[in-house]
Amino acid sequence: MDFFEAQARAKKQTTRLVGLFALAVAGTIAAGYVAAVLVLGQATGGPGRSGPAGEPSLWQPELLATVILGTFAVVGLASLSKWMTLRAGGPAVAEMVGGRRANPQTTDLRERQLLNVVEEMAIASGVPLPAVYLLDDEPGLNAFAAGLGTSDAVVAVTRGALEKLTRDELQAVVGHEFSHILNGDMRLNLRLTALLFGILVIALIGRGVLRGMGRPRGRSGSNKNTGGAVAVLLAIGLALMFVGYVGYFFGRLIQAAVSRQREYLADASAVQFTRNPDGIVGALRKIGGSALGSSISAQHAVEIRHFFFAQGFRSSFNGLFATHPPLVERIRAVDASFDGKFFAPETVVAVRRESFQTAGFTRHPGSGAAAAAFAAVPNVPPPLPPPVRLAFTPATLVGTIGNPSPAHVEAARRILERLPPGLHAAALDPTQAPALVLGLVLSADPAVRTRQIEGVASGAGAGTARILSDLDPGLRQLGGDGRLPLLQLALPALAQHGPAAIDRLVTTLDELVHADQRVSVFEYALQKVLIHHLALYRRPAGPAVTLHRLAAAAEPVALVLSTLAWQGSRGGAAAQAAFAAGADGLDGRPGRLTLRAPQDCSLDRLDAALEQLTRASGAIKRDLLTAAGRVVTADGQVTVEETELLRAIAAVLDCPLPPVL
C-alpha cells in the first residue's frame, strides 16, 4: 500500500463522486421538472401551460428554471448543513450515533485492552492517538473510524465486538479502521454522507407534506375548493417523494459501490499491519456466526452505514445497496482455503485468562483502582521477539509513511512497555497532559531546570507545576525513543482544553524551550508537531492544495533540504555534498536547487517554508521526503536528532511517519 497513491486515489474518487452525484442531481431535476409539468397541468390550464390539443406542454423554460433553482437550493443547503455538522470531526460523528468516549483510567479490562491496541497502532503509524469511543447499546460486532484527518480521527467499537473478539481479532479490526484513517477514506465518507443527505431531503420534504395533510383541520371554504387544494398538495407531496427517492436511489448505488471496493483494501492492510490473517478472518467468521451479526440499531447510524467495519443494515435490491462485500468473499480474499463455515462466538471472551501482553495491556497499568483491577490478571507476559532494525534508505523511509509494518507494531509495544507508568497515565489525562508536555523539554542542567520549573508555575499555574514535580522522577528515566510517542498519546487529552488554555500552554512551552538561549532539534520538533496538530483539532479540514508543481515550491523545498544538510554535517563541504545528494534527484534535473547559507536556515524561516509546503500536492511531499532521506543518509550516519526532525517535518506535512527502526 502506497500512502501517496492512496491519498491521490481518494482525491480522484472524491472528484469522480462529485461528478456522479451531480448526475444524480441532474436526474432529480429532470424528474422534478416532469412531475411539476404534470402537477401544474392537472391543477390549471392557464396560458403557456398547455399545448394546442389542451395537453400539458413539456417545454416551459420558466418552470424549468424554477425547478433547477429550487433543487439546487434544497440539495445545496441540506448538504451544507450536514457538512457543517460533520466537519466538526470524528467526535461529532461518534456522538451522533450514541458513542461514549472511553475513559483512559478505566478499570474495565476489555476497555483497557481496546485502548492499548489503539495506542499500539497509533505509535506504529506515527499519528496522534485517535479518541476511542464505545457504542454501549450495540450488541452486534462492528466498529468504524471517522474524522477529516489523522488529527481529529476517532475509532468507535460496539459492545458486542469488545466482548466477543479476542485480542488478535480486535487488533485486526482496529488495523482495518486505521487503514481508513491513513488512506484518506474518512474524509471521503463524510462527503458522501453530506451529498446523499442533500438529495434525501427532497423526499423528506415530500413525506412531511403528506404527513401534514393527515392532520385534522377545521372546516373552511367550500368543499370544492378544499378538495382541489388537497389534491394539489397530495400531488406535490407524492411528486417530491418520488423525485427525492429516485435521486436517493442512484446516490445510494454510487455510495455502496465505492464503499465495497475500499473494504477489500482495508482488510488487506489489516493483515499487512499485523502479519496475522487469522485475526481478520476470525472476526469476520464470528460476525457470520453470530445471531446479531454486525447489525447496528442507533437512529442516525444509517447515515454513516458506509463507515462501519461490516454491513450494519439489511441490504435491499439483491445486494445493490450493500456497503460491504459479502463476508464469504472478504474472507476468501484473505484466506483462499476458507470452507464457508462460520462459528458462533463465545458469549464473552474471558480477558482474565490472557496475560498482560496477549491481552494487549502494558506492563504498568497505573495506580489506585486501575492497579487493583489489573492485579487479578496474570502478569506472565511471553517474551517479545528480538527487535527488528530496517535498513534506513530513502525508499524505505517513504515506503513506511502511512504503511506501518509488523516490525513497527512490535516496536510500538516495546515503547509502551518501557514508558514509566506515571508518564503513560499522565499522557492520557487532560489534567496532567499539559504538565507532561512541558516536562519533555526540561533541561538536564540543574540551574536551567530550576528556572524552567519556576517558569511553569508563573506561566501555567501552580497546579501544573505541582503535577510536573510529581512526574519529574519518571521524566528523568524516560528514554529518547519515548518522547515523541508520549506526545502522540497526549494530543487528544490536550485537545480537550479550550483555546485560552492551549494558547497558555504553547506560550509557556516556548519560554521553557528558550530558557537556555538555544533550541535543540527535539524541542523544535516537539513544538512543531504540537502546534500543528492542535491547530488541526480546531480546524480539521486543513489547508487546500495550491502547489501542484515542484517549480512553484522550489524555494521552501530548498530551505528544508538546506536546514537538514547543515543540521547533520560538520562543515561546508559536507553540507554541500548532503544537499546535492537530495536536491539532484528531484525531478531528474541536477542543479535546479542551491544550498542556502546557514544564517538563512533559521527555525523561523523553516517554519515559514513548512507552512507553504502544507499546501503542496502529495507528489511534491513524496519527492521532498525522499530527498530529505537522501540528505540525512549522505554521510552514512543517521542521528536521533535527524530522525526526530524528519518525523516532525513529515507530521507537519500530514504524512505520518512511523518510528524509525
Q: What is the predicted pLDDT for the residue at 382? A: 45
| Section 472-491 average pLDDT | 89
Read out DSSP for 433-477?
Answer: HHHHHHHTT--SSHHHHHHHHHHHHHHT-HHHHHHHHHHHHHHHH
Instruction: State yes or no: pLDDT of 186 exceeds 60.
Output: yes
| Number of C-beta neighbours around residue 339 at 10 A | 7
Instruction: State yes or no: pLDDT of 389 exceeds 70.
Output: no
Instruction: State yes or no: pLDDT of 79 exceeds 80.
Output: yes
Q: What is the predicted pLDDT for the residue at 223? A: 56
Q: C-alpha grid cell for residue 40?
A: 401544474
Task: Break the chain into its structural domains and give their ranges.
Answer: 3-84+188-244, 394-512
Strands 154-158 and 131-135: parallel
Residue 169 among the catalytic residues: no
Q: Which of 177, 263, 523, 644 is catalytic?
A: 177
Q: What is the predicted pLDDT for the residue at 511? A: 92
Q: Which residues lie below 8 Å from residue 100, measured CB to CB, with a gap of 6+? A: 133, 134, 135, 136
**What are the φ/ψ torsions at residue 537 (nearest 5 degrees)?**
-60, -40
Q: Measuring CA to CA, which residue among 197, 105, 122, 193 is closest to residue 413?
A: 122
Burial class (CB in 10 A: 0-12, 13-18, 19+), 90: buried
Q: How far is CA 29 from the centre of its chain?
A: 34
Q: What is the predicted pLDDT for the residue at 433? A: 95
Q: Which residues lie below 8 Å from residue 171, measured CB to CB, with a gap of 6+? A: 117, 120, 121, 274, 276, 279, 360
The pLDDT mean for the chain works out to 81
Per-residue model confidence as pLDDT tens digits over 127-177: 999 999 999 999 999 999 998 888 889 999 999 999 999 999 999 999 999
| Number of C-beta neighbours around residue 588 at 10 A | 7
Calpha distance 288→296 (Å, rounded):
15
